[in-house]
Amino acid sequence: DFVTLVHRCQNCLKRGSALEIDLALQLIGLVVLTLGAGDNAHEIYEESLVFLPKLLNSKLFHSVKVLECLSIVTLVAARDFVDTERSMEIIWQFMNQETKHSTYVTAAAISAWGLLLSDINTWRIGHKKWKELIPYLLKQLEEGDEDVTAASMDVLALLFEKGNLEKFSNQTQEYSSIKDMKDDIMKHVKRAKQDASKILEDDYNRTATITLCGRRLTFSTWSQLKQMNYIRRFLGYGFTNHMMENKYLHEVFHFVPAATTYSGLELYKSEYEEVAVRIFLPDVRRKCCRKRIYMSPNSLLNKGKTQLMNKYRSIAEEAKAGHYNAEGELD
């Protein structure tokens, strides 16, 4: 029962050790990913918005795991733009706290916010709510931390791809056009990291390919890449298994696992088997019964041989039927 499981996770968040808290947060995200979009996942989302913001502000040591949990739960379970923006506001408030966070935590917060940005249409966003975003990101680039820079560049790339940049800056009036605004942002980026600025150029090739269990998945937008990379990091070593079995991920990434001849673990098949019949007969009857016991079509020996052949045939058919190969390689 997912409800009982999530409630036990909540108890761990209140009373558990540091390790138990991190594992509970991870498990909540895994439960939602397993459930997929729907009423059950949305119920967890609603409950999460009660306890996760409190945890984010009270237990800073676990803030990265809280941010990951919140962003994954929202990505999967949010029913509409309003749900997604609620979580974006929680993360944004955390990003702008007066207390300065470590670069590791700052990078995690920016990345989590960017994941949710990848899932919305920017035309739905109001013109006033996120006016501080681009100035905030450009300021983070000046800090020079590699992780923070990478996370900030991800979000800027998403903004350039989705458009409506004027909604994300309070300095729009200083530019005569959106192109001038883009050019100025590019200058800031180049000063921070020359090579990184290439990803913001209009002609930059965004196409990336992942090979998974012999199937090639091609992504051509920053939004797709952001979601894939974030979920992949969240699942860690379990990513391949989830991609093979998780229907939600199949729908999101348009991935259909191929049915292939099984090349992994095989059904047990002994190298040698034989049928033997042991029957005690007095010497006086052995000679007259030999033909009936060993040579008759209905003898126990022939029946045993038939059963053995049927067993081999069943194993062969099972091997040829094909099933999902759970071993893959990510490029």
DSSP string, 48-92: HHHHHHHHHHH-GGGHHHHHHHHHHHHHHH--SHHHHHHHHHHHH
Q: What is the pTM of this model?
A: 0.75
Q: Collect all residues with Cβ–Cβ distance below 8 Å to 121 and sequence separation of at least 6.
A: 81, 162
Q: How far apart are CA 146 and CA 142, in angstroms?
A: 11
Which pLDDT score, from 0 to 100, does residue 325 have? Answer: 41
Token pair, residue 200, equals 């913001």
- Which value, in Å, is the radius of gyration of the alpha carbons in the chain? 30
Which pLDDT score, from 0 to 100, does residue 324 have? Answer: 37
Which pLDDT score, from 0 to 100, does residue 328 have? Answer: 39
* Positions in the chain whose pLDDT score sits under 50: 260-267, 272, 284, 321-331
Which helix (DSSP H) or strand (DSSP E) does residue 209 occupy? strand 208-212
Which pLDDT score, from 0 to 100, does residue 195 have? Answer: 65
The 10s digit of each residue's pLDDT in 177-218 is 888 888 888 888 887 776 666 777 776 777 888 888 778 888
CA–CA distance from 59 to each of 21, 51, 66 (Å)? Answer: 10, 12, 9
Q: How far apart are CA 182 and CA 189, in angstroms?
A: 10
Sequence-ordered alpha helix ranges (H) in 118-264: 133-143, 146-162, 178-192, 222-235, 239-245, 247-253
- Gap between the terminal Cα atoms of the chain: 36
